[in-house]
Structure 1
Amino acid sequence: MLYIFGGLPGTGKSTLSAALAKELRATHLRVDVVEQAMRAAGITVNGTEGYMVCYELAKQNLRLDLDVIADTVNPITITITRQAWRDVTESLQITFVEIEVICSNERELRHRVRTRRTDIPGLILPTWDEVKNRQIRGVES
């Protein structure tokens, strides 16, 4: 089974997806980890490069009959990444579930974005303005 988490930065998807991965003993693919590792290796990340790595890692783990938890933004208004995750499951004839994490209180989300810390060395978190603009325009990281 592939669990596809999506939502704006700061909504809590990494916390929830990590808890589910621990509970299920599943593979946890967090695009932030992949993209930061790529940057640390000197690779420029300008678009879907990290997602592409995650898709292939998901396929490999799903072929081993392991559950996979995907932790990525996957904006609703841009269906490219969402469809790509579905394509992973369809190619392997595996079931999936999409989980959209939303913080419906804008004040709380702004507070969370402004005060959160990363557990990924070197990762630069988006500012509130970047998160807000992403929500308005529907642009993903």
Structure 2
Amino acid sequence: MLIAMAGLPGSGKSHLAARLADELGVPVVSVDPIEAAMWRAGVGGPGDPLPTGLAAYVVAEAIAEENLRAGRSLIIDAVNAVEPARGQWRELATRTGVPLRFIETVCPDPETHHSRLAGRRRDIAGFVEPTWEDVVARYYAAWVDDHLTVDTTDDDAATLRRTLGYLQEP
């Protein structure tokens, strides 16, 4: 199965992805560390017009495809804010013949969301964390796919149970 996380930075994607990975025993392929590795290698960087964000998605797709073809499920951890990004995972699932589940995380309380971003320390070498202003200004397309929307301000254990239940659905 391919599980594609989606949601704005600081909405709880990576936290939920890690919890799911532990519970399911599957790896997480995260776009942010891939992009940061590109920057550390001298490819692009914050403010550079080189589209390293797009390139990081393509690298994540290649890693995911290799794992899916080997019979391993995995979780993609990425914002997936626009239709082309979401379409990338639909096409990958079709190519590899695996089911796809989209999980969108939301944090509808602006104060909580802002404080999460302000206090976030992910220790991704060379990665510049987005600011609250970046998140508020970011375009986020409406969904056309079936997906589960998870309010991450809810109880953590209940959120995990609900998400695992969604992944078990036919």
CA contact under 8 A between 1:27 and 1:61: conserved in structure 2? no
**Residue matched to 2:99:** 95
| Matched pairs, number | 135
- The alignment's TM-score, normalised by the length of structure 1, stands at 0.91
Q: Tell me the CA shift for residue 81 of structure 1.
A: 0.2
Give the aligned CA root-mean-square deviation in angstroms.
1.3
Flag structure 2 segments of 5+ consecutive residues without an equivalent.
45-49, 142-170
111, 114, 130: which one aligns with 1:110? 114
Amino acid at match of 2:36: Q
**Residue matched to 2:63:** 57
Q: Structure 1 CA distance, aligned partners of 2:127 and 2:8?
A: 16
Q: Structure 2 CA distance, aligned partners of 1:2 and 1:16?
A: 15
Amino acid at match of 2:128: I
Q: Deviations over 1:80-126 (max 9, x none)?
A: 00000110000111101000000011111111111211221221100
User: 3-state DSSP class of the match of 2:67?
Assistant: helix
**Residue matched to 1:7:** 7
**Residue matched to 2:164:** none
Runs of 4+ with deviation above 4 angstroms: none
Q: Tell me the CA shift for residue 138 of structure 1.
A: 2.9
Q: Structure 2 CA distance, aligned partners of 1:138 and 1:70?
A: 18
- The alignment's TM-score, normalised by the length of structure 2, stands at 0.76
**Residue matched to 2:73:** 67
Flag structure 1 segments of 5+ consecutive residues without an equivalent.
none
CA contact under 8 A between 2:39 and 2:126: conserved in structure 1? no
**Percent of aligned pairs sharing the same letter:** 37
